[in-house]
Amino acid sequence: MIGMADIVVSRDPNLTLCTAPLGACLGIAIYDSVARVGGLMHSLLPESNIDPQRAATKPGMFLDTGVAELLRRAHELQATRENLLVYVAGGGQIIDESTYFNIGKRNYDVLAALLGRHGLAIGAEDVGGLANRVMELNIETGEVRLKFSGNVKMKILCKP
């Protein structure tokens, strides 16, 4: 289980990583099928400039520090950017149905820009809407599945 603001990267084929429910937060899964390395991050907010001290101790809380840390940890396990697949879920409009405080959309926009700067693109996504969802990454296969609140059945986001 990946807690809020956590980042886990592994090459253990017996491991399935799973986020806590994602509302406006984003779940970012990465997978390198050659190195068989996968990672999952549960990020809350777009930019760390609102709390640099917290970002230093918990980089996954913010997208700008979390994405860099997620990629760094994957690289340590021999993953390469050329082989990385990126999947995203969450970014819902859960608390505020007006667009005034739409943190989910801001999170998504910041993530897309950050990935572009790293030469990466989103391979599959399920973002927005009004429902919470949980994201799972199977390290052995790279399969990413989603479970929406109120639903028993899981949705496959991707099968590399």
Residues 136-153: pLDDT tens digits? 999 999 999 999 988 888
Cα separation, 83 vs 71, whole angstroms: 12
How is 69-85 classified by DSSP, letter by letter? Answer: HHHHHHHHTT--GGGEE
Low-confidence stretches of the chain (pLDDT beneath 70)? 94-101
Q: Is residue 93 part of a domain?
A: yes
β-sheet bridge partners, residue 8: 40
- Report the pLDDT value the prediction gives residue 38, as an integer from 0 to 100: 98
pLDDT at 81: 94
pLDDT at 93: 82
The whole-number pLDDT of residue 55 equals 93
> Is 1 within the bounds of a domain?
no
Range of the domain at 109: 7-158
Q: φ, ψ for residue 115 (rounded to 5)?
A: -60, -40
Measured CA to CA in angstroms, residue 137 lies from 45, 77, 80, 95, 118 at distances of 21, 17, 18, 26, 22
d(CA 73, CA 8): 8
Across all residues in the chain, what is the average pLDDT?
A: 93
pLDDT of residue 101: 65
**What pLDDT is recorded for position 159?**
87
- 52 domain-assigned: yes
User: Considering the domain boundaries, does residue 2 fall inside one?
Assistant: no
With a CB cutoff of 8 Å and minimum separation 6, the contacts of 109 are 46
Other beta carbons within 10 Å of 130 = 11
Q: What is the CATH number of the domain that holds 151?
A: 3.30.1330.200
Q: What angle do CA 34, 30, 49 make, to 5 degrees?
A: 140
Burial 64-81 (b: 16+ CB within 10 A, else e): bbbbebbbebbbeeebee
Q: Is residue 139 part of a domain?
A: yes
Domain count, the chain: 1
pLDDT of residue 130: 85
